[in-house]
């Protein structure tokens, strides 16, 4: 069953349940309003996950009509406007969501990711740092990963290394953190740990232009010439117009 149909049935079911319980309107009780609002938010997020951002606004608007201060509805609309490249609107709705739940690590992380996308790295770092303080947040490893990448953008390599190592201590199956650690280790000429990080990355993720260039470099350092040639051929075939391929050519 398509996700949007399943969620639509969820909303319909909640309404029907309220009606069958004897209420004239499903929204006359606090419980009914809360259930409908949650269902509308889930429906909106379902549309957004399928790339249907315009359709997502309809149920999210209904959710806000039930509670204009609802953090989840405002946060979902922020994601919608972020997807539609309307940063001012996204920023406004992120702030509305955080006004209701200022310590929510998921909201803090999502807003930090939005700020990172806008290249507002100093501010993004602050929100990621706030999100890390909730030690029970199940996605805390992702926050440390985001914080580490942000620190790299700020030129704070030592902090970045610490944050990425923390991310991998919490969850050692994070391809992005592994690739960043592989590159940091390579730049520091720590070639053995660099290859270890790289091999772990390769087991978890497909290659991209950046990882293929690093693969060439590591294979060259370890005198694995066939492997270096294979990575170079993949880089040429898959990413011929990239800066990484031009860098590869200049290093040959």
- pLDDT for position 2: 54
User: For 26-40, how does the pLDDT look when each residue is reduced to its tens digit (9 = 90+)?
Assistant: 556 767 787 888 999
User: For 190-218, how does the pLDDT look when each residue is reduced to its tens digit (9 = 90+)?
Assistant: 999 999 999 999 999 999 999 999 999 99
Q: Is the pLDDT of residue 21 over 90?
A: no
Residues near 182 by beta carbon (within 8 Å), at least 6 away in sequence: 194, 195, 197, 198, 201, 214, 218
Average pLDDT over residues 43-67: 93
User: For 138-149, how does the pLDDT look when each residue is reduced to its tens digit (9 = 90+)?
Assistant: 999 999 999 999
Average pLDDT over residues 121-136: 97
- Rounded percentage of the chain residues whose pLDDT exceeds 90: 84
**Domains in the chain with CATH codes:** 32-102 (1.25.40.10)
Q: Where are the alpha helices (DSSP H) in the chain?
A: 3-20, 30-49, 53-66, 71-83, 87-100, 105-117, 121-132, 140-153, 157-170, 175-187, 191-204, 209-221, 225-238, 243-251
- pLDDT for position 19: 38
Residue 56 to residue 75: CA distance in whole angstroms:
12
Q: What are phi and psi of 177, to 5 degrees?
A: -65, -40
> What is the pLDDT of the chain when averaged over all its residues?
90
Q: What are phi and psi of 139, to 5 degrees?
A: -105, 25
- pLDDT for position 165: 98
Output the pTM of the full model.
0.86
Q: How would DSSP label each residue in 146-198?
A: HHHHHHHHTT-HHHHHHHHHHHHHH-S--HHHHHHHHHHHHHTT-HHHHHHHH
For residue 227, give the nearest of 195, 184, 179 by alpha carbon: 195
| Contact (CB, 8 A) for 141 and 167 | yes
- pLDDT for position 3: 47
């Amino acid at each position: 069953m398509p996700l949007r149909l399943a969620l639509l049935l969820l909303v319909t079911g909640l309404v029907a349940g309220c009606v069958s319980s004897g209420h004239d309107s499903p929204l006359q009780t606090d419980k009914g309003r809360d259930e409908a609002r949650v269902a509308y938010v889930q429906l909106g997020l379902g549309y957004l996950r399928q790339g249907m951002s315009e359709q997502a606004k309809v149920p999210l608007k209904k959710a806000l009509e039930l509670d204009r201060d609802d953090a989840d509805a405002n946060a979902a609309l922020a994601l919608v406007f972020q997807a539609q490249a309307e940063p001012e609107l996204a920023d406004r709705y992120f702030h509305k969501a955080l006004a209701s739940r200022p310590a929510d690590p998921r909201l803090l992380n999502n807003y930090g990711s939005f700020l990172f996308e806008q290249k507002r790295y100093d501010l993004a770092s602050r929100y990621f740092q706030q999100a890390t303080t909730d030690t029970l947040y199940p996605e805390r490893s992702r926050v440390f990963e985001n914080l580490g990448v942000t620190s790299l953008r700020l030129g704070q390599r030592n902090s970045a290394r610490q944050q990425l190592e923390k991310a991998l201590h919490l969850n050692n199956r994070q391809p992005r953190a592994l690739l960043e650690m592989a590159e940091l280790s390579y730049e520091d000429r720590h070639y053995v740990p660099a290859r270890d990080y790289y091999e772990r990355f390769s087991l978890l993720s497909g290659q991209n232009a950046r990882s293929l260039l690093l693969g060439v470099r590591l294979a060259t350092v370890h005198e694995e010439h066939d492997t270096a040639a294979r990575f170079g051929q993949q880089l040429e075939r898959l990413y011929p117009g990239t800066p990484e391929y031009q860098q590869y050519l200049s290093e040959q």
